[in-house]
Structure 1
Amino acid sequence: MVFACQADSFLVEFSSKVVSCEEAELKVVSNGKKTTVKGYEVVLEDTILFPEGGGQPCDTGSLDGVPVLQVTRRGAQAVHFVAAPLAVGAAVRQRLDWGRRLDHMQQHSGQHLISAIAEIEFGYATSSWWLGEEVSYIELDTQSVKKEEMDRMEEIVNEKIRAATPVTVKVFEEGDPQLTADRARGLPEDHVGPVRVVTIQGVESNMCCGTHVSNLSQLQVLALRTGDQAAPRGEGEEEQDEPPLPGGGPGAGSAGPVSRPRAAADRSAQNLQTVLKDLAVLEAEKLKRLNPSPKFYMLHRREADSDFMSIFINEVGNQSALLFLTVGDDKGAGQMVLHGEPSAVSALGPRICSVLGGRGAGKGPKFQAKVSNLGNRSEAEELIRKFFEETRDQ
């Protein structure tokens, strides 16, 4: 289903009937601490409140004056978490928090533009991106970005903004012949339903579920920064390249007063940890929404750490899936955790640890290790697949 917010990202008010309203609880993370909020999950016939997805957080707003705390997608439905119940069948007035939406639209369209220019000019594909409350970053598939490359990217993206380049969104129905073109690259073979394609005129076309500006002039200006220059973003700004890991950046390890570059790096590291905590929660929610629930689940985050894996496991809770989590250099050193049913963990943990060139230990439902060769992840993943195939055949 294409929601009203995706058909017209500039709608700020809208009416729609309540399809269902059920009691529920919402787990939220604030300053790294989890709390539980009681309320109701409301499904509407249609919505202008975007459910989180594609790297973009959800919208906030209200339904007949009742604040909407979170919006998530479940299949073809958008589920609104509110503090008070709404009558099924009643038509409710939706109001959008426009400031938050505009910010997200600018950041998301800016990411599309930067990612396209990075790939067109230098062949750097985007491996991930994250839109946070204080910091947005884009991770490029390269070890480093030269200053002259960064300057050139910033020059080009702002030329496109000054040219007021149009941004259009088109929905293609299943089977449309245009979806065989490059504009629909990456479309899963088993995809069912309409496909939404966002086009920056003369730059790129890309499938996307998020909200976008209608013209690049609405971005105003984009300033690109490397991770060691990162600071909380302002309107229209994007982070570029990888954020530094904690303790990295200029001045790391030096004695004496903290320099301005070091202070900026420390702020960036703190912001990154906040982003990673939120990301762990979102990744866990993604797993919990899978239907049917998988027998095993694999996740690698290059920029994450052991805290990310712990938060993810805690958020997943009592899911029966075997979790294979890794963090660190894609082809080098890092950490691994295998978590799940004890017999599977004890059978697979040492074998996977050996494949990844690590030393570790486990007890009960958890095996963890420091490893030296994450480039062998595919071999480790194949061990897990074969284990479950053999278990199924027995």
Structure 2
Amino acid sequence: MAFQCQRDCYMKVFVTSVVSCCPAELKQEVNGKKETLKGFDVILQDTVLFPEGGGQPDDRGLIGEAPVLKVTRQGPDAVHFVTSPVEVGQEVRVKVDWERRFDHMQQHSGQHLITALADSMFGYKTTSWDLGRHRSTIELDTPSVKAAQLQELEEAVNEKIRAHIPVNVQLLSLNDPAVEKVRSRGLPEDHAGPIRVVDIDGIDANMCCGTHVKNLSHLQVIKLLGTEKGKKNKTNLIFLAGNRVLKYAEKSYSTERSLVSLLKTGPDEHVQAVDKLQKSFKLLQKTNLSLLRDTAVFIAQNFMNNPERGNFFSLHKKEGDNEFMNIIANEINTEEILVFLTVGEEKGPGLFLLAGPSGQVTELGPQILELLQGKGAGKNGRFQGKANSLAKREEVEALLRQHCKHHSS
């Protein structure tokens, strides 16, 4: 059967009755964590909320005051998941989240138009598509699409939009001869009722259960952002339709204004300015590394030249890396002297290195690891790793000084 959302894609509010309401669970991902929500599966006499299908995500909306979190199709029925129950038999007001729905209509009809013209102009068949949250992708059965073809295709789809060509929906029976002339990737196994065909007048006729605009002019504009390498010998074409193009332009302009403020140059010089900054940054990095290496050698030699030095050396430096610490350790006679080095924030995360007589390092390494809440490993008189917190650095130093006193007495 065709639902009310398929008979009239522009209807935003619909009154119908509740057929059933059963306890159910919904598995979903929130901020990267999987959660299971307890709620109810509701079947209505009819619905303006589109169930997931045809590459189009499901609608969101309300049944009465209850938010609908998922709509799926099961045979001839649309099943709505809500967190609070609704009374069976009662009349309810069903309202669709129109902004989400109209966005899906624009992207879906846009895909049909691009698919039809990519085929008729270049013979590139569509093998699948994805309606993403911010941008959509059409998988074309070709290893590549030339830049000139992309431009020609974009001009052609927008010309059809300007021609305000109507988009009609037909319902055909399975044995209708017209079905054979319709583009299709096949019907689902549990399909019930007549076949729904979305017909862009004179351009494309395609079996589809999704919601669509009734005229190509409602797409406003289509922007082809470019292509990416797809699966074997296929190309992914990335596009925006309608309001997404306006949002993309608004976001791009906001970014451009921010860059004007940061770079102190006009938009046309942004790439050149960033390139110049990157080169300056690489040069500074190189100079900084050279200075750090020189500093490491100086620190170690200064310690070794001190006649009053003992058998323990400790140092913490905010700036530095593993190479900096290892240079210091290499310059000090660690066969006789125990060396403890750290770099990073004083109370925050950082890096550490323990170097010295092999037996002492093997014994003390795991103790240091525990105090610094870190991860690390050691061999040949070196134990080093990452510290989650350097807050207990003084405790580590006290432990090592005590150990050195014990060994020297």
Q: Please give the TM-score of this superposition, normalised by the length of structure 2.
A: 0.55
Question: For 1:171-190, what per-residue CA distance to the aligned partner results, in whole angstroms no more than 9, with x for missing partners?
Answer: 113322322x3125554598
Aligned equivalents of 2:5, 2:238: Cα separation in 1:
31
2:199 is matched with which residue?
A: 199
- Unaligned runs of 5+ residues in structure 1 are 239-255, 259-394
TM superposition shift of 1:100: 0.7
CA contact (8 A) 1:220 1:236 kept: no
Inter-CA distance 117–234: structure 2 relative to 1 (3 Å threshold): closer
SS at match of 2:168: strand
The reply on whether 1:235 has 2:243 as its aligned counterpart is: yes
Question: For 1:180-207, what per-residue CA distance to the aligned partner results, in whole angstroms no more than 9, with x for missing partners?
Answer: x312555459865210000111101000
Aligned equivalents of 1:139, 1:174: Cα separation in 2:
28
* Residue identity matched to 2:219: L
1:85 is matched with which residue?
A: 85
TM superposition shift of 1:227: 3.8
CA contact (8 A) 1:56 1:104 kept: yes
Quick check: which has more Rg, 1 or 2?
Answer: 2
1:277 is matched with which residue?
A: none
Inter-CA distance 85–102: structure 2 relative to 1 (3 Å threshold): same
TM superposition shift of 1:109: 0.1
CA contact (8 A) 2:223 2:240 kept: no
Inter-CA distance 194–184: structure 2 relative to 1 (3 Å threshold): farther
TM superposition shift of 1:232: 8.5
Written as runs of structure 1 = structure 2, the 5 A alignment for 1:163-174 is 163-174=163-174
- Unaligned runs of 5+ residues in structure 2 are 229-236, 247-276, 280-409
Question: For 1:107-146, what per-residue CA distance to the aligned partner results, in whole angstroms no more than 9, with x for missing partners?
Answer: 0000000000001100111111111212211111111110
1:176 is matched with which residue?
A: 176
Aligned equivalents of 1:106, 1:189: Cα separation in 2:
24
CA contact (8 A) 1:110 1:236 kept: no
1:242 is matched with which residue?
A: none
Written as runs of structure 1 = structure 2, the 5 A alignment for 1:202-281 is 202-227=202-227, 235-237=243-245, 257=278
SS at match of 1:223: strand
SS at match of 1:67: strand
* Residue identity matched to 1:104: H
Aligned equivalents of 1:6, 1:230: Cα separation in 2:
26
SS at match of 2:243: coil
TM superposition shift of 1:5: 0.5
Aligned equivalents of 1:233, 1:34: Cα separation in 2:
31
* Residue identity matched to 1:165: I
* Residue identity matched to 1:63: I
Aligned equivalents of 1:119, 1:225: Cα separation in 2:
19
SS at match of 1:104: helix
CA contact (8 A) 1:221 1:236 kept: no
Aligned equivalents of 2:167, 2:278: Cα separation in 1:
47
CA contact (8 A) 1:20 1:43 kept: yes
Provide the alpha-carbon RMSD of the alignment.
2.6
SS at match of 2:225: coil
Aligned equivalents of 2:218, 2:240: Cα separation in 1:
20
* Residue identity matched to 1:72: T
Aligned equivalents of 2:12, 2:192: Cα separation in 1:
29
CA contact (8 A) 1:48 1:94 kept: yes
| Shift >3 Å, 4+ stretches | 184-192, 227-234
CA contact (8 A) 2:13 2:93 kept: yes
* Residue identity matched to 2:150: M
Question: For 1:246-288, what per-residue CA distance to the aligned partner results, in whole angstroms no more than 9, with x for missing partners?
Answer: xxxxxxxxxx959xxxxxxxxxxxxxxxxxxxxxxxxxxxxxx
1:283 is matched with which residue?
A: none
The reply on whether 1:50 has 2:50 as its aligned counterpart is: yes
Inter-CA distance 83–32: structure 2 relative to 1 (3 Å threshold): same
Question: For 1:65-87, what per-residue CA distance to the aligned partner results, in whole angstroms no more than 9, with x for missing partners?
Answer: 11111100111110000111001
SS at match of 2:95: strand
Percent identity, please: 52
Number of residue pairs matched? 241
SS at match of 1:199: strand
SS at match of 2:154: helix
Question: For 1:317-360, what per-residue CA distance to the aligned partner results, in whole angstroms no more than 9, with x for missing partners?
Answer: xxxxxxxxxxxxxxxxxxxxxxxxxxxxxxxxxxxxxxxxxxxx
Aligned equivalents of 2:238, 2:188: Cα separation in 1:
39
Aligned equivalents of 2:188, 2:135: Cα separation in 1:
34
TM superposition shift of 1:17: 1.1
Aligned equivalents of 2:209, 2:187: Cα separation in 1:
15
Aligned equivalents of 1:234, 1:204: Cα separation in 2:
20
CA contact (8 A) 2:220 2:241 kept: no
